Chains A and B, each alone.
Chain A
Amino acid sequence: MKKGYSGGSALPADKRAQLTRGTDDALNAQARARTGVRAAQTGRRIVQNVWWPMVSIVVALALLISAVVVAYARTGDGSHGVSGASGAGAHSHISIGLQLAPTNLDIRQTSGTALDQLLIGNVYEALLTRNEDNTVSPGLAQSWEVSADRLTYTFHLNAGMTFSNGDTLDASDVVWSIRSMMEGHLQGSNGVANFASVSAPDARTVVLKLSKPYSELLWNLSGRSGLVFDEQALSGADGSGADASGADGSGADRSGSAYDAKTQALGSGPYVLSAYEPGVSATLTARTKYWGEQALNRRAHIQTITVRYFADPQAGLNAFTSGDVQVLAPISGTLTGAIQNDARFTYKTGDGTDKYVLAFNNATGGGSAADGTAGVLKDKRVRQAIRYAIDENAIIASRGGTDAPLGGPIPSLDPGYEDLTGLYPTDVEKARTLLAEAGYSTSHPLRLRLMYANTYPAEIGQQLRSQLARVGIDLNVQRVEFATWLSTVYKQRDFDISMVDHNESHDFAQWANPEYYYGYDNADVQKLYAQAMEAVTDSERDSLLARAARLVSEDAAADWIMNYRVVTAWDKRVRGFPLTMNQVNMPLWNVTFGTESAGAAGSSVQGGAQTARAAGADTATAAAQGGVR
């Protein structure tokens, strides 16, 4: 590089101009003049050289600081603003911010609770209604009887039920929905275990027969298994079909083709799906003639509801604080600090069945052949050590303390719940001892991989890595796209440890199914589970499930990091938004925004016609409804 440069074509224009004036001698002469007199022209250049970096640094700092100030101002100034409009009447439109968007709307083909959340109870209806406390009450069926041998279920349907396109909903639709679901092995079909037959003796009666008792049937029929679809509209079989966005009740707007279940939805619920933008939003519009207004005393209070999806929690919070959405569910426990002192908003934690399961690969035992640890997780001491090493309470505290500790596979809202957090309390010494027995220590650590989807925060992985490092496990945390997790862990079973939020309710079957990705094969658990499913009474079922859950937890088949609880934030003028389990079950007909006629705002949560609700339930929602005014 010390070699001189000759030729000028590679140089900037000003240098080339200098060059035309002469040679190095000329330049040297100029330089001498510069050092001697420091001519005004060259002097300015030096000053520029000194100052422009300084100036740019100062400008950059100023920009950064002003950005922070603006950010503070945005979160801090909440006490005034929109709430000034308290005198305004009821709004006919509301926007709701959610996080996980469904990939498409085909609820019969596509799994994922985002679909249940959006459509069930709003657009589609099931035979039974699922309440906020996870019990069931009448839905399309106004009553039902179960035979003494628990094999025959007789449902009596409401009269005068219609789909939003005007088609009648009667027993034949129910029979077709269940039968096609079972024959096609569609979503929900495994909720009707031991299925024998379904028939319709008359237009308002459905008889469902089982080959063996199945104690979860009624609950399942309040979810996907019990959804009733319009056969004509779905298949376009009768040639008339229907327009999904539907001219409600009029029957005039028939398009003559089947609706596209991936982008449209047509059901019997209080709302019709009027617009859907995958991954972005869905718009629900109230039906003008909803059959349930009399039969179920349900009426959509708000004319249009826009559901918007914010994958980024911060974006969701911004939309909420700026008034773009009036409800945000979930809001992370940490972010609630941003709205804590804002008089416009309030938030509350609702119970749920989300289980953050740190699943061990029970089938292969994980590990790697390369360092001789293949199958290491088959060693119960190692699994137990991991459970003792993890400080779940620290993780919960770091997230804002809204989640609940969970010691086993069954959360508090599900049958068979028992507090198992005492089985493996945090005990670093015990973990070290157990690992030492298995041959590992901090100086000779056991290397394990943890793979989880990047929809869950990085902090959990960092904390697990930190907590396990203390006892002698070198945890390699891989945070990947959900699709990668799905193919690597769920399908190929190529993992040591996986973490995922299993938010389904009544899902203990996972632990009785060795084919599931946990690969957990325990004959005692399977036997207890089978007995529970054939139990005659609910209490018998619950105690059998509790015993099975205890076995799974004692065996350290996984670690349950927490029972994630959804925090919902809402504008104080909003009432009636469900708080419990609202990521799975979010009926919106009772939601109001702003003042409304006193009767409607004060109506009970799930409708007056229902009698099956447990007294004292839904206190959370009552509080939500109580609101301010």
Chain B
Amino acid sequence: MILRSLIRRWDGLLPLIFVVLWALVGLVSLLWTPYALTDTDGYSVWAAPSAAHVLGTDGAGADIATWLMAGSATEFAIVVAVIALTAVLGVGGVALSVAHSARVRSVSVLVIDALISIPTVVIALILAAPAGASVLAVILACSIVYALNLMRVVRPAAAAAARSQYVVYARYKGVSEWRIFVQHILPQVMPSVIITVSHSAATAILAESGLTYLGIGVPAHVASWGQSLATAARFVTLHPATAIWPGLLITVAVIALNILGDAVRECADPLTNPLLRGDRTQEVKN
């Protein structure tokens, strides 16, 4: 139902097409790329686009298109993992911060407020220090920071819902705390959760690029858009074309995810989506 209303609108369809294409390219890259990731040719570095190298080659003589394709897979995995982890961690944190027990509530709020002051880069550094740079470190660093952000954004609304009459009533009826959260509080805050998570997905792409540029993101042999951008950035004044492609992909992906997040929120909200309302009136009638 949500999907159907999503593809009916431009700002739902366009980013959705991009995301599907992105996933497809990522999938294809797992099976086939124009060259192997490890192929380099020192005698043709910074080559201009040609039939052999559609997007040219980078400073090691590796095929840029190959690395970008393989990067799509890494990037998609990072985004999906960050969305999932952010949602789980964030919603869990929200549940704690609006818990019935005043002690749990105040302690968790205090912890969230304290931890939210730590920047992504610092967390990534801490995670990357013992084990070296890895995709997992990027995912964890992003998820932790964005989950904290989500808790902070969503908590007021959740707290208001937790004070509402029907929650009091449900509690009086003996409904368990967990069920109260899932059935009565979570639906109330779902729109802002969706917005925050989609924003996190977009920011994760930027964070991956930034962290990789700093050398604490994905390791050197793993392809990612941030990796391609970091490689190209050093010689951007000499070979600007090599930086455009990863830059463009990152830009478009970030815009697409943000727009998609907005669209999903509107489509999933019965206040703005008549289809869902139709559904609900039927349910009520039955």
Contact = CB atoms under 8 A, between A and B. Distances in A.
Interface of A: 1-5, 7, 9-11, 15, 18-19, 24, 27-28, 31, 49-50, 52-53, 56-57, 60-61, 64, 68, 71-72, 74-75, 313-314, 317-318, 334-335, 337-338, 391, 393-398, 454, 457-459, 461-463, 465-467, 469, 476-481
Contacts of B62: 462, 466
A304 B118 CA distance: 44
Given A53-B11, A462-B221, A393 B238 contact: no
B42 A479 contact: no
Interface stretch (B25-33, B70-78, B100-108, B277-285): B277-285
Contacts of B274: 27-28, 31
Contact of A4 (B41, B132, B192, B280): B280
User: Which 10 A-B pairs rank lowest in CB-CB distance, beginning with the nearest?
Assistant: A394-B42, A398-B42, A10-B157, A459-B60, A466-B40, A9-B160, A31-B274, A4-B280, A462-B60, A466-B38
Interface string B1-19: 1100000011100110000
A527 to B, nearest CB: 39
Nearest to B273: A31
Contact of B43 (A28, A57, A397, A481): A397
Interface in B152-211: 157-158, 160-161, 164, 187-192
B59 interface: yes
A559 B238 CA distance: 31
A5 B188 contact: yes
A2 B190 CA distance: 11
A338 B238 contact: yes
A7 B161 contact: yes
Interface string B222-245: 000000001101111110100010
Nearest to A468: B38
A71 B271 contact: no
Given A1-B187, A2-B1, A5-B191, 17 more contacts: A1-B2, A3-B187, A10-B161, A10-B188, A10-B192, A11-B191, A24-B270, A318-B237, A334-B46, A394-B61, A398-B42, A398-B61, A459-B231, A462-B40, A466-B60, A469-B38, A477-B221
A313 B234 contact: yes
Contacts of B14: 53
Contact of B271 (A1, A19, A481): A19
A260 B43 CA distance: 50
Contacts of A459: 45, 58-60, 231
Nearest to B241: A68
25 contacts: A1-B2, A3-B187, A4-B283, A5-B190, A5-B191, A7-B188, A24-B277, A28-B274, A50-B11, A56-B255, A57-B251, A64-B251, A313-B234, A314-B235, A394-B43, A397-B45, A398-B42, A398-B59, A459-B59, A461-B221, A462-B40, A462-B60, A465-B38, A466-B40, A477-B221
Contacts of A24: 270, 277, 280-281
A463 B46 CA distance: 14
Contact of A467 (B40, B157, B268): B40
Contact of B268 (A1, A9, A318, A395): A1
A479 B164 CA distance: 55
Given A7-B188, A338-B238, A393-B42, A60 B251 contact: yes
B242 to A, nearest CB: 11
B161 A4 contact: no
Given A5-B269, A393-B42, A476 B238 contact: no
B220 interface: yes
B88 interface: no
B160 A476 contact: no
B113 interface: no
Nearest to A10: B157
Given A50-B11, A60-B255, A394 B41 contact: yes
Contacts of B15: 53
A57 B255 contact: yes
Contacts of A481: 215
B202 to A, nearest CB: 12
A60 B274 CA distance: 33
B34 interface: no
A491 B238 CA distance: 39
Contact of A72 (B158, B240, B252, B255): B240
Given A18-B271, A458-B231, A466 B187 contact: no
A1 B43 CA distance: 56
Interface residues of B, number: 66
A466 B61 CA distance: 10
Contacts of B221: 461-462, 465, 476-477
B219 A478 contact: yes
B161 A9 contact: yes
A481 B236 CA distance: 23
Contacts of A11: 191, 271
Nearest to B247: A64
Contacts of B191: 5, 10-11
B164 A7 contact: yes
A143 B106 CA distance: 81
Contacts of B58: 459
Contact of B132 (A72, A334, A393, A480): A480
A213 B219 CA distance: 50
B123 interface: no
Given A15-B272, A60-B251, A317 B237 contact: yes
Q: B40, B62, B248, B276 — which one has the most chain A CB atoms within 10 A of its CB?
A: B40
Contacts of B60: 398, 458-459, 462-463, 466
A457 B41 contact: no
Interface string B248-276: 10011001000100000000111110101
Contacts of A50: 10-11
A599 to B, nearest CB: 40
Nearest to A49: B11
Output the residue of B45, B164, B244, B279 with the most chain A CB within 10 A.
Answer: B45
A49 B270 contact: no
A5 B132 CA distance: 45
A398 B251 contact: no
B271 to A, nearest CB: 5
Contacts of A10: 157-158, 160-161, 188-189, 191-192
A186 B54 CA distance: 57
A487 to B, nearest CB: 12
B9 A49 contact: yes
Contacts of B272: 15
Contacts of A395: 42
A314 B251 CA distance: 23
Given A10-B160, A15-B271, A53-B255, A478 B132 contact: yes
